[in-house]
Chains A and B, each alone.
Chain A
């Protein structure tokens, strides 16, 4: 009987290591990506607000041609800005429209982050559950096998 239990314990441990932990890692990586996007859009918003505040019409920038080789570029009219709306599309916005869009986008991103956070929490809970079960099996071997663990 003990050997059977030990086998089961091993199986549970393997399950945790092979399924649950990688899932956790994936979820955390996805959430980080969304954090990055959120940061990008918040930076963009700040820049546009800056432009609006200073009424900048034309702009001179340095464009990276690749491998950190820059060339001067001039933007004669800053009124129209093309914003990436996903799926490879860029929409021409005026400043105010762009700001509205960005705020909408930021809300969506926040919701996504919340979802991922909940997913991560559930995976962590499952891992804890399995570990508890293993501990119980080890400490109280007389208990009947707890095969009813469902994940």
Chain B
């Protein structure tokens, strides 16, 4: 793991999430919660009224006439009788009435009760979400008050890119970062180590490939972007071990772009496309097809959008082999699910979001693919790091354990 330089930033949580704002957010959520509570009470009242009415309607036909006081306006009564005790006039809405018997009226009322109850359930779900939000905000506020600090370390190469991305990512997914910070730091360390290892491998491959073919980097970039996006997540969570190397190479740039919506749309689009293809292919292992596709699509897009050196897809296989390793951690499951070539923002946002999810899932899935693909595809570029593909695999296996 030849880290060139390690830069780091220390950001206190309170600067990212000022205590006041989190408190305000918490208050707003509480207000919404109370509103929903009021609605819930109202709905429950309706349900109670409904059930009592059902009972009444069932009892009335027992007698021919009932002595009642008939209201006359709001302030006067007439003594009178209830007649036609089996005939009910029910309002269906929009000034439409219907005359029904007692049984039929009971059925109508029961159906109304069911719809009310389903509304109550939906409202309960919403309230639960609000409660979770509120608890999160509270914990954030308390942490910010305590002066929790988020530490980030970068490797020099990717530091610029990663820094911006991670910074933007931070803004976008504070919850992820925070959750990660709180949660498995040890897990993050492992992942960070793996990611740094992968990045190093990528660099070496790119360096080797640059000498041979420039187009290869496209695929790598696509894959790398995916992995990088995941890496970003990892590093963010794990307080980056520095594997967020700046993707000086176009591949890395694109990788980052894919992962983060703040960057070039063109890059993202192409990368997302390539990523989709990659992931789909990862599952199927038609690497050559992918490379061809990259040629046609990514090349033009990427060249036009990024202007970076993009390697031909012909040797995408090679890159695939390596990229796949990274892909394991990338957004493969989520990206595969996303509609191909849909909106970029959707893609990117999905990828960003998914990266946090796929972070845990993809690793397990792709290790097997990695084995097959790495064996099949690693040729030239991987010669120098022929053993490396296997290492990430093994690491994944270890991780699984």
Contacts and interface: CB of A to CB of B under 8 A. Distances in A.
19 contacts: A59-B80, A61-B80, A63-B71, A66-B49, A66-B56, A68-B91, A69-B90, A69-B91, A70-B91, A70-B97, A71-B88, A71-B89, A72-B82, A75-B81, A76-B80, A76-B81, A80-B78, A81-B77, A90-B77
Given A44-B73, A47-B73, A81-B72, A67 B78 contact: no
Contacts of B91: 68-70
Given A68-B90, A69-B89, A83-B75, 11 more contacts: A59-B80, A66-B49, A67-B109, A70-B90, A70-B97, A71-B88, A73-B68, A75-B80, A80-B78, A81-B78, A82-B78
Contact of B89 (A62, A66, A83): A62
B76 A82 contact: yes
Contacts of B229: none
Given A71-B60, A82-B69, A65 B53 contact: yes
A143 interface: no
A67 B56 contact: no
Contacts of A12: none
B79 A75 contact: yes
Which 9 pairs show the lowest CB-CB distances between chains A and B? A68-B91, A75-B80, A70-B89, A82-B77, A84-B75, A75-B78, A72-B84, A44-B73, A66-B53
A116 interface: no
Interface of B: 49-50, 52-53, 56-57, 60, 68-85, 87-91, 97, 105, 109, 112
Given A65-B53, A66-B56, A43 B73 contact: yes
B77 A67 contact: no
Contact of B76 (A67, A68, A70, A84): A84
A81 B76 contact: yes
Contacts of A76: 80-81
A78 interface: yes
A69 B76 contact: no
Nearest to A98: B76
Nearest to A81: B76
Interface residues of A, number: 30
A40 interface: yes
Interface of A: 40-41, 43-44, 47, 59, 61-63, 65-78, 80-84, 90, 98
A74 B88 contact: no
Given A62-B89, A63-B82, A80-B79, A69 B57 contact: yes
Nearest to A86: B75
B84 A71 contact: yes
B103 to A, nearest CB: 13
A47 B57 contact: no
Nearest to A67: B53
Contact of A69 (B68, B85, B88): B88
A76 B71 CA distance: 14
Contacts of B97: 70
Contacts of A61: 70, 80
Contacts of B57: 65, 69
Nearest to B97: A70
Contacts of A40: 73-75
Contact of B82 (A68, A73, A90): A73
A74 B81 contact: yes
Contacts of B60: 65, 71
Nearest to A40: B74
B73 to A, nearest CB: 5
A59 B78 contact: yes
Contacts of A47: 72-73
Contacts of A73: 68, 70, 80-83
Contacts of B76: 44, 81-84, 90, 98
